[in-house]
Homo-oligomer: A and B are copies of this chain.
Amino acid sequence: MHVLTIGAAGMLGRKLTQRLVQMGELAGKPLEALTLVDVVAPDAPEGFDGHCRLVAADLSAPGTAAQLIQSRPDVIFHFAAIVSGEAEADFEKGYRINLDATRDLFEAIRHAHAADGYFPRVVFASSIAVMGAPLPYPIPDDFHATPLTSYGTQKAITELLLADYTRRGFFDGIGIRLPTICIRPGKPNKAASGFFSSILREPLVGQEAVLPVPDSVRHWHTSPRSAVSFMIHAASMDLSKVGPRRNLSMPGVSATVGDQIEALRRVAGEDAVKLIRREPDPDITRMCEGWAPGFEAKRARELGFVSEDSFDDIIRAHVEDELGGMP
């Protein structure tokens, strides 16, 4: 089994590599080779005996996609993307990376398929950003994608391409609409959604965090651990059961900010909760109101995708995976 991960230096890409190396196999076949690609060369995973190639490359540069699949990886995980804020700030860059580079990859596979029957599994990290307000709660699986950002538009277009290339038999694709990842490990970042993680992550290590929105804001979350499990399951499962609708809204936990805080109180106590400082920001609050409150994710659940059941479990996953089990 040869796995190619594009966007391997990102948070989820790194966690996916770690998990694959721990498992030593994918879809019942021993993990023999890893090709890890990002704009900066990813770190080599620890404890992997197989063949590992670390590549610094820009997928949007001509010829790069064809080069990456030259060795015919069996499974391709595609995470690489310009994030939402940057895709909104730089229209051309967003379309070049999030749409054109991905299409280059799909085209390279199509040409390889025509040349020698190459037929990889392609697991695409899509996003709940394909949805745009007004949104029902919960959002059913058959709800239309009307994104309100260029990033969401680019993800929604890639979903359509993935379904068409799959239907045409060029590759075996599946799109995974990831919930917001919470608790995102690491330092606070500037993403408008960053507070969903920081109001838990910082208090868990005794630091203050700022909450810019009311407790009533509801959003859709899953842990990094579950997100990685989604990608692994998508790479392993029998896709013949999925049919032509290849883009799946993943399960997750729908929670208000108030629910998140109550879960923090239960897991880490009142002292942690006291570290959350309320600083209302009308701009962030307005943005949040357009975000997805939660999904039914009926098809994904039936197909065996599993997330946490409660926000307590999401916090515990962070404590176990990032803090060595010590709150």
Contacts and interface: CB of A to CB of B under 8 A. Distances in A.
Interface of A: 91, 110, 132, 141-148, 150, 153, 156-157, 160-161, 163-164, 167-168, 244-245
Protomer copies: 2
7 contacts: A141-B144, A144-B145, A145-B160, A146-B163, A146-B244, A147-B163, A157-B157
Contacts of A143: 142-144
Contacts of A163: 146-147, 153
A168 B146 contact: no
B144 A160 contact: no
Contacts of A145: 144-145, 160
A147 B161 CA distance: 10
B244 A168 contact: no
Contacts of A157: 157, 160-161
B168 A147 contact: no
Contacts of A110: 91
Contacts of A244: 132, 146, 148
Contacts of A156: 160
